[in-house]
Each structure stands twice: as C-alpha cells, then as structure tokens.
Structure 1
Amino acid sequence: MNLIPVQAAEITIGRPLPWDLFDQAHQQIQQRGYVFKTMDEVKQLEETPIFRIQKPELKRTESANDSTEKIRFEDMHLKVGHKMYLTLAAYAQKHGDSSNSFATSMIGYVPDSTLIVTMPASGQLAGAPFVEGDQINVRLIAGQNAYKFSAYVDKIIKVPFKFLHLSFPQNIQGQSFRKSRRIKCNYQATISEESIPINIMDLSIYGAGINSTLPLGTPGSVVTLSFTISVDDKEIPLSIKAIIKPAKKNNRKDQKIISLGLEFTEMKPDQVFALRHLIYQEIVEHPENEI
C-alpha cells in the first residue's frame, strides 16, 4: 500500500478520524471513524511516525470500445433539489452492488470546486456514517439518461443544518435508457374484473410478468391490472388495461403457479410517466435488479 506521513496537527479532537492510521511496518494502529477525545491521546501518536493510505486518483471505468465524448457536469442539466444516491465505494467494492445506497438531494455546486448535497436521513446512516475523506459512488437519473461518477467527502457541515461538500465530479459516465428496460420486482396486485390477487415479478413500461394461483382468462383477452408503486416516496395507484399472453404452469410446494405475461394497452400519459420514473429510479438505486 502507498502510505504518506500524517502530522498530529492534522487530527482534530472530537471529530471522526477520516483515515485508517498505520505505523512504519504498515500495521494498522487506529481505524477510520475513531474519535480522539483529548490532546494527550494525540500526543501519544507523536512518539513514532504515523501514516495513512494516499488518496487514489479517481479512475474511469471504460469499455474496450468506449468512444463517447466526455460528459461535463453542466450536460446533466441538474437543478436544486435533484435526487442522487450515494454508496460508500468501499462497501460497493466489498459486496459488488449498490444495495446500501443513501438518498440525498443537490443543494448547489461551484464549478471545478465542490458539489453540495444534503446529509442523508439519519436512519439511513445507521452503522455506516460518512466521514471526511470517504470515497463514494454517486448515481442519478436526468431526463432519459442515467449518470454515475465517483467523488470524495471533502467536508461535513453540521450547523446550521447538515450537508456534505463533495469533490467536484471529474469523470462522469452516462447511459441512455432503452425503452424496453425491465426490472425484477415483487408487487402485490389485483386483476380487477374478478378480484384475483397476483404477484408482479418483473415490470417495464410495456408490460409485466406475473404469477397467479388462479386462471385469469384466455390468451388475447383484456384484463385490468391494479397495483400501487412508490416513486420519490409518493404512493401512486395504477389501474392499467392489459392483454393476456400465453401462460406456463409450475408446481411450487404442492401449489400450482401460473406464470404469464401481460402486455399493457390503452395507457394514459401519466401512467407511462409514473412507470418510467419507477423503472429509472429502481435501476439507479438497485442496478442489480435490471433484467
């Protein structure tokens, strides 16, 4: 590991330590997040040289055939209040996903200097608080594009209200959404005509894959699918006409399960918008759920 010296003056009493500390033998002597309570504790560190891992340069992940132009921050056309999702880079690297992401909103930015976002709700941070120096992965959606970039927590402000200063994004990656994008899910729903309860197992703006214990009708017939989705913490009830596609029967724990597809039809613009927003949101928050 690449270590650089740390001076005792860089350690602030009463604030979480922003890095792991090591001795000359590369042995860890203190963990990131530890709070020094007295000056005597800090002075004890001056007896022998102490070090921390040098902050690595942010790297851009590119595919072999990536020939896209560099995306500027301004190209995303973000406004105050735009929602973003933060994941500790160390967590994502260890677990290989973004399931432990924290919702935040943009307060503002100074070009090439800082990106300012709200502190995620305290309930989200249980067991994994941010400290200065943390590297984080940021995901967001804007228009019909998904964006992601890496940044560092440069400063944590707690008064008069809590917010984070992040290092200004340098390497932004963007991807356009395909119209047919589909997500894995598990929504409780109802076929309204017969009040038949079903489970929605996957979803797109064009249709859904469902499981049912009761027959819904013949392929080609039209039913009404009713369910509720949550978009930006708002509950939105949907009632959508759908065409039944051919079914497949499975036996699960002595119970017959009918798996089939529904093709949405006669959708209203607000229903399309709500579903598209849900799917984009889910892909950004939980990219592992994309099919």
Structure 2
Amino acid sequence: MTADSREERAPRQEAEGRGTTEIAAERSVPLDEVKLAIGDSFQVQPQTDLAQSRYYVKLIGYLKGKSVVTTIPEADGKLCYLRDGQTLVVRFFAGKNAYAFTANVLRSSSIPFPHMYLNYPPQVRGLVVRAGERAPVRIICAIDMPQGTSTIAAAGLMTNLSVGGALLATKTALGKKGALLSVKFRLHVRGIEVLMAIDATIRSQSQDASGEFLQGIEFAGLPDATAIALTAFVYQTLAEASR
C-alpha cells in the first residue's frame, strides 16, 4: 500500500472493454473508527534493509491514545520476539477496507502469555477496493477441478483480477457455470512474492475470436491474510496503471 494519499481518481476504461472502473481513494481515519474485534488478524512487517519477512499476529486489545496489544509473531512454530523500538508496518483487513499504519514495538513480554505493545497510531491509512474493480494482469495459474473422486489439473492465464474474482483464459473449457475449482498463482506485492491458493466458482463462460475459453470466476471464503495481500496487489496495479 502506497503512503501517498490519492483522494480522487478519474474513471478509466477496463482492459477488457467491459465498462469503467474507478481507482479507490486512500484516506486516513482514526483507529477507533475502524470496526476491529478482539482476535482480528494483523500482518506485521519489520522495517529494516534486510527484512522481507511478514508475520501474522492477533489483536488482543487497544486503548485509545495509549497502545495496541497483539500476540507475538510465530514462524515454524517458534515465537519471534521483536526488539523494543523496532519499527513495523502493520496491515489488516476490516469489512471491505484494507488498512495500514506504522508503529514501534514499545515492549514485549512472555508473562502471563506472549504479547507485545505497539504505540497507538494517530491515524491509519484505509483503502476501499470494491469487488468489481478489476486490475488488468497476465498471470499464469494452476487450476484444479474436482471430478467425482479425482481431480483434473489445468493451466490458465489470468487476464484480470479483482478482490472478488478473476477472468481466466484457457485452451479448453473448465466446466459448467456453478462448477467449483481451485486456482493457484503468485503475486508480487511491493517486492514480496505471495503464493495464492483460492477456491472459486465459475460464474460466466465465453469464447474469444482465437478460440480460447474465457471463464469468469468468483472467489469464495478468503482468509484475512489472502484478502490483505490480494487487496494490496489490486490497488498497487490500478495505481501503477493510472500513472
């Protein structure tokens, strides 16, 4: 997520010629206005020259103007204590919005259970990326389709991508409308490679002039971590395309 505030974007034509889409505005809001719940997932990324790792923690609670309390990050089943003063970029997903803020680790403790205190951010950057806002892409993906007791594998090219779904181009038809499938692909979000594995349903089918089959798919049941990465990628792609 870029730190530059872009309050308005002019509508632009989608790559596939299916109408217009508008790049969502990024705005700053107070943290206490975001509908957070205890146990919500946060993604934290240490800000050092060498650090590329991203960890997931759970929100324990917060006190306005004082501190945000989360669990300690884990990797390979082991706790990853962050040093006091360490600067983090914190990202999370709430409703249809993706949010981010920068915070420092105030203190980590293992008593009575592993947790850490972050300084309370005066504002968080929020971005709405609607399910219909499509980013033009060319991403090779692997597709698995359940057929009775077996699974059929296929390859495809994703030509547009949104938070709610995608358009897949394939050499053969994947199945009828309503058919279930699983799609796997890789995204690069601000230099970080993220492997996506998402369940989806075929919602539309057509065939282009070259004979390729086009399937519009709808994503189902996105975990928070997947939604955060997908939202960030779609926004990043739309922002870059508008420059």
TM-score range for the pair, normalised by the shorter chain length: 0.5 to 0.7
Task: Name the counterpart of 1:189.
Answer: 144
* Cα displacement (A) at 1:244: 3.2
Percent identity over the alignment is: 17
Q: Is residue 90–residue 103 contact of structure 2 (8 Å, CA) maintained in 1?
A: yes
| 1-structure distance, mates of 2:32, 2:103 | 16
| Residue 155 (structure 2) pairs with residue 199 (structure 1) | yes
Task: Name the counterpart of 2:91.
Answer: 139
Q: Residues 29-108 of structure 1 correspond to what in structure 2 (within 5 A)?
A: 61-63=3-5, 70-91=28-49, 100-108=53-61
Q: Name the SS of the counterpart of 1:274 in structure 2.
A: coil
Q: Name the SS of the counterpart of 1:282 in structure 2.
A: helix
* Cα displacement (A) at 1:226: 1.8
| 1-structure distance, mates of 2:48, 2:53 | 11
Q: Is residue 93–residue 99 contact of structure 2 (8 Å, CA) maintained in 1?
A: yes
Which protein is richer in strand relative to its size?
A: 2
**TM-score, scaled to structure 2:** 0.63
* Cα displacement (A) at 1:186: 3.5
Which protein is richer in helix relative to its size?
A: 1
* Cα displacement (A) at 1:157: 0.7
**Equivalent of residue 173 in structure 2, options 200, 216, 222:** 216
Q: 1:201 to 1:109 in 2, by over 3 A?
A: farther
Task: Name the counterpart of 2:187.
Answer: none
Structure 1 residues not aligned, in runs of 5+: 1-59, 230-234, 250-258, 265-270
Task: Name the counterpart of 1:243.
Answer: 205
Greater CA radius of gyration, 1 or 2?
A: 1
Task: Name the counterpart of 1:55.
Answer: none
Q: 1:63 to 1:238 in 2, by over 3 A?
A: closer
Q: 1:161 to 1:124 in 2, by over 3 A?
A: same
Q: 1:61 to 1:196 in 2, by over 3 A?
A: closer
| 1-structure distance, mates of 2:215, 2:226 | 17
The amino acid that maps onto 1:86 is V
| 2-structure distance, mates of 1:207, 1:138 | 27
The amino acid that maps onto 2:120 is F
- Aligned pairs, how many? 201
Q: Name the structure, 1 or 2, with higher relative contact order (CA <8 Å, separation 6+).
A: 2
**Cα deviations by residue, 1:19-65 (Å, 9 ceiling, x for unpaired):** xxxxxxxxxxxxxxxxxxxxxxxxxxxxxxxxxxxxxxxxx933376
Q: Is residue 69–residue 116 contact of structure 2 (8 Å, CA) maintained in 1?
A: yes
Q: Is residue 26–residue 128 contact of structure 2 (8 Å, CA) maintained in 1?
A: no
Structure 2 residues not aligned, in runs of 5+: 9-24, 185-196, 238-243
* Cα displacement (A) at 1:120: 1.3
**TM-score, scaled to structure 1:** 0.54
The amino acid that maps onto 2:5 is S
The amino acid that maps onto 1:274 is G
Q: 1:65 to 1:71 in 2, by over 3 A?
A: closer
| 2-structure distance, mates of 1:228, 1:290 | 21
| Residue 227 (structure 2) pairs with residue 280 (structure 1) | yes
Q: 1:62 to 1:216 in 2, by over 3 A?
A: closer
CA RMSD of aligned residues (A): 4.2
| 1-structure distance, mates of 2:116, 2:209 | 51
| Residue 108 (structure 2) pairs with residue 156 (structure 1) | yes
| 2-structure distance, mates of 1:118, 1:276 | 18
| 1-structure distance, mates of 2:223, 2:235 | 15
Q: 1:280 to 1:107 in 2, by over 3 A?
A: same
